[in-house]
Amino acid sequence: MEKLIEQFSFGLFFWQLLLFVALLFLLRKYAWKPILGAVEKREEGIKGALEAAEAAKKEMQNVTADSERLLKEARAERDVLLKEARDIKANIIAEAKEQAQVEGDKMIKQAQATIESEKKAAVADIKAQVANLSVEIAEKVIKQELSDKGKQEKLVEDMLGDIKLN
Amino acid sequence: MTIPNIVGAGLIVIGAGLGIGRIGGQAMEAIARQPEASGKIQTAMLIAAALIEGIGFAALFAA
Amino acid sequence: MRYSFFSKKLVAVIFLIAGFVSAQNHEGEEVETGAHDLKTQIKEYIDHHLLDSYDFNLYSYTTDQGEHKYIGFPLPVILWDNGLKVFSSSQFEHGEAVAEVDGNHYALYHNKIYKTDAEGTINFGGHHGDETHTEDAFGENLVVDDAHPTNEKPLDFSITKNVVFIMAVALLMFLVFRSMAKRYQKSTMPRGVGRFLEPLVLFVRDEIAIPNIGEHKYKRYMSYLLTVFFFVWVINLLGLTPLGVNVTNNIAVTFALAMITYLITTFTGNKNYWKHIFWMPGVPVPMKIILAPIELLGTFIKPFSLMIRLYANITAGHVVLMSIIGLMFIFKNWIGSPLSFLLAFALSLLELLVAALQAYIFTMLSALYFGMAVEEDHH
């Protein structure tokens, strides 16, 4: 210990302190600050780039998810549309069928009515003709059978009976 | 240097050596057990060894 | 005869491994006196190597005429002795002459400057009683080794060999790191020397500063930590070069560094830090009173251990290394010398590691102390 104290040189201590402190301040201004600043800036840059890449990746994922969702929606919409179209088709067909039925029925009815009226007209016509005929026949018979009264009456009765049968 | 001084210095060296050896050995064991913490263990080991060494040197100069 | 010669060698080798002190005692009797002289010479040389010097000597030798020759150059001596006195260290003629400035005389004794008279007389205050004796400063008959000269010592601000080296390292560091910083203006990637230094800077930041001080507060201390790390490392490494100027084995240098750490710790310490020193929370009041002086002493012991650790590690490394190199000249045989050489080589490699390790430990512990000073209350 004594040797250490004896060896202590104040001059060397003074110079070491002076030079070291000077070196410390010079290096701080001209070396450490720029170096550490540049290193930090670089690290920040790398960190920023990494973060940006991460964000881009996330964005990409989002975009993919979005497009998938859109696709799904479109598909669903298409399905809905198709279903609607099918329904409409079925409706139209059903309606058309119904209408046709109704129309058909109407036509048939009309036709039946026509037929009926025609029939009636025809029957009336026939009746008229039969009447005419009967009258003519009666005239003829009358003309013919005027001689025989019994025969005349019988003939008229037969003829009338025939007509009734009709 | 007188004889007691030399003996004292020897004792100091033995003590410090044993202490630092023990620290080193334990640190090795710890690293083997937890290799992932080797950096921290090394730092702690060096600090502990340095402290013992400092005491050892102080005692040596006193001797 | 031949057998005994060989066995002697074997004994020497065994003792070299066991410890060089024992080995020296087993040197052959025929070289006993010679080896003893050499031993003292080597010891003196090591002592001299560890000390600071007033001139920058690369090496010295003695000519056949017994004349000392020095290769190197003198450095300015700056003294404060009732006014500034500046003169060249060549006036001392390597401790063999008295320097005279403005009618004052100064002489070197044991590598320190003392004020003397024109003949360079050094007075000794004896340890034993009142007996004082004078001696020639150039010490032909120097016997009393642990006596202290009573001559006046002027305040010494000389640019010594170590100061020159500190300046050189400071300049080197400034130029290198300035050029490194300039490169970053052009691109954010390190270029040239920065490729090697940037990982080290990041190491100090990520492994030393952030874990010990904390994510939010480390920036304030980065300049000091980086400067002290590189300064200690570079100056330790340069101490291992053949120039052999080991600055950090001066207690004054490590004291200055530790003092800066202490001052930074003290002046940046927050309320919590001082509370833990003077009024330790969480312990009973009597314990608080006992702990306060211990903790206060601890704040001084911390930088003190920093100072001693760096100094002792570097000094011990150099002493052992130089002793082993010195063994080569003591052994002078074909087994001992190469073995010493190999041992010295291995030790040099170890010293390279120690140079970096001590810089790391110094920075690390400084960061730890700063971390303690700014730690937030978490009770």
Range of the domain at B39: 16-62
**How many structural domains does chain B have?**
1
- Nearest CB to C163; choose among A15, A34, A45: A15
Distance from CA of B57 to the nearest CA of A (A): 11
Residue B33 lies in a domain: yes
Domains in chain A: boundaries: 12-165
pLDDT greater than 90 at residue A86: yes
Q: CB contact, 8 Å: B58 with chain A?
A: no
pLDDT greater than 80 at residue C129: no
Q: What would the two tokens of residue C255 be?
A: 């004291």
Q: What is the pTM of this model?
A: 0.71
- Nearest CB to C364; choose among B39, B47, B60: B47
How many residues are given for chain A? 166
pLDDT digits over C165-187, tens only? Answer: 889 899 999 999 988 888 888 77
Residue B10 lies in a domain: no
Model pLDDT, residue C24: 38
pLDDT digits over A62-73, tens only? Answer: 999 999 999 999
Model pLDDT, residue C124: 67
Q: Give percent of chain A with pLDDT exceeding 90.
A: 40
Residue A47 pLDDT grade (very low, low, confident, very high; cuts 50, 70, 90):
very high
Domains in chain C: boundaries: 76-158, 161-374
Distance from CA of B24 to the nearest CA of C (A): 15
Instruction: Show the CA angle centred on residue C12, arms to residues C6 and C14, nearest 5°.
Output: 105
Residue B2 lies in a domain: no
**Which chains have 3+ CB pairs within 8 A of B?**
A, C
Contact between C305 and B43 using a beta-carbon 8 Å cutoff: no
The residue ranges of DSSP E strands in C17-98, in sequence order, are: 55-62, 68-74, 76-80, 84-88
Domain harbouring B29, CATH code: 1.20.20.10
Contact between A15 and C166 using a beta-carbon 8 Å cutoff: yes
Whole-number mean pLDDT of chain C?
77
Residue B1 lies in a domain: no
Model pLDDT, residue A111: 87
Chain B hits for C304, Cβ within 8 Å: 58
Segment among A68-72, B48-52, C33-37 with least mean pLDDT: C33-37
Among C195, C200, C199, CA closest to C180: C195
Segment among A32-46, B4-18, C184-198, C355-369 with least mean pLDDT: C184-198
Residues sharing a CB contact under 8 Å with residue C251, sequence separation 6 or more, in sequence order: A4, A7, A8, C307, C311
